[in-house]
Each structure stands twice: as C-alpha cells, then as structure tokens.
Amino acid sequence: MTDLQTALAGETPPLVTPFDDDGAVDHDALASVVEHVESGGVDGLFPCGTTGEFASLTAAEQTATVETVVDASDEAPVVAGISAPAIDDAVARAEAAADAGADAVVATPPYFHTSGDPAGVEAFFAAVADRSPLPLLLYNIPVYVGSSIDPTTAASLASREDVLAVKDSSGDLDYTLDLVRETPEEFLVLQGYDTLLLPGLRTGLDGGVNALANVVPEVFDAILDDPHGETARQASDAIAPLFDVCGEHGFASVAKAGLVQRGVIESDAVRPPLTAVPDDEYDAVGAAIENAFDAI
C-alpha cells in the first residue's frame, strides 16, 4: 500500500466548511477543525464532501477550502471533493485540487442526468480519471445521485491504477460487502455510514469516511484502533444517538453544532437550503456527545 492508501484505511472525516457571520467561508475556523480532528487521531482529511456543503460552494470557494486544509494539515493526506455532473467541471476541480496540494480527489456519479445503464457511469468515471492529475476515489451516495454504483462497475474501475477506493454512503451493508467481494484486495472499500463502520470493519471493509468524526474523532479512533475489541463495540453503540440527531437535522448542521459545543468553531451557520440545529435541540446534541465519550 502507498502512504495514501494506508491513511485511507483509517478514518478520513468529510470536513465541515465553517461560515462566518456574513456567510463567507471562515478559513481560520476551518483550520481549527483540521487541528481538532488531527489531534483526535484521524488519518486523512476530506474537504468539499457532502458534510462540507460542496454543492453550496462556488468553484473558487472549493479551491480555497482545499488550500486551507492542505496548509493546515500536519501530516494527514488530503482527498478533495470534485463532484460535478459535467466531466469538464469535475476535471477542472481536480486540476485546481492538484494545484492546491491535495493528494487525491473524490467524485460522485453525475447527478440529475442519471442513467439506468452502468456503462454510462463507468464512462463518466473513466473520463474523469483519464484527465485528472490525481488518483480518484469513487463516492457512492444514492440518496443524492439517484442510484448506486453497480458493483461490477466498481470492479471494472478498480482495475485501473488511478482509481484507489470507493466510499459507500448507501447505508446498505449487503451492497457494501458486494463491493468487497467484487473488487481486488488492494482496492479500498470505505464505510461512509457512521453506524455501519464497525460491522463493516468486522466483515472486510478497510476504513471509514464519517461525518461525526468531525465532532468526536477520538471515538472513531477507538473504533479503528481495535475493531474486534469491546471498546470498539461500545463506541459504535454510543455514536448511534448522535447519528439519530443527524437524521433529523442533517449531518453538516449537527456536526457544526457539535463543534460549537466542543469549542472548536464559533458559528454553526449553514447555507440554505440547510438550516442550523434549533436552539432547543442543542441539549440533545450535547448529551449525545457526552454519551459517545462515555464509551471510551
């Protein structure tokens, strides 16, 4: 494995993108988030993912966000989100990420114009990989894209040296295990559904890309440290209440609320159409964070 692959076989949080009171990206706060998660034991950094509200950022803001994460990172490699439905836009974002110092890029299948033919998705990824200056991670998130990446498509793309891994946020462990069975051993299958990280690791997955690792990276570090141990089981059970709050209010909103409560950032602002966690729900977030820490 390369150093990048070794890092990805740990925990790589999809970082939140903090905003200031005027709605602009708060780069100082973003640097604080990077310091927080690195000190909590994460192995990689993923700016401009779903939790990072990439779809609400301009291309220039995405590039600046990646630059900040690269500059703020101590040792953790950076995998930058480049998702876009147009191939040229995804490639342009990959080129900008490379110029910013990222180590790899992450892309979903094209959204809105979806296709029932897996060949179309494979052609999209192959075209992006052919032109990207950085290696590519596939990102399966059917709730927003409309369909899952077919396991045979993932297996075909996995034969390429420039396609390293797939992040699966489907929440369907059977599907994720199909990816494990269909793809080569050196190809990484990463769990993006937080409460399925531990069962995934125990059944052959390689690592995690989990939103709540923004808030409680120490808990995810405990899970990755010894997945077959009792502490990992307790930690996995303990993140479930916080995950449930995310289901109600959204991962970016809850992650930012948790980071405010932990004193990492000052503002929980999100961009429309997302909304911040209501004030009367803050206690529930705080209690869920304490519950998670009690497990370790």
* Residues belonging to the active site: 139, 167
Cα–Cα distance for residue pair 34/66, rounded to 1 Å? 11
CA distance 133 to 96: 10
* CA atoms within 13 A of residue 221's CA, in its CB half-sphere: 16
How buried is 181 (Cβ within 10 angstroms: 0-12 exposed, 13-18 middle, 19+ buried)?
exposed
Q: Which helix (H) or strand (E) holds 260?
A: helix 251-261
Residue closest to 204 by CA, chosen among 185, 231, 226: 185
Q: Is the peptide bond before 278 cis (omega within 30 degrees of 0)?
A: no
Cα torsion through 97, 78, 177, 123, rounded to 10: 10
Let me know: does 265 contact 50? Beta carbons within 8 Å: no
Q: Which residue has the tokens 């990646």?
A: 66
Token pair for 200: 């995934």
Contact (CB, 8 A) for 58 and 97 = no
Residue matched to tokens 């998660």? 37
* Spatial distance between the Cα atoms of 129 and 13, rounded to a whole number of angstroms: 23
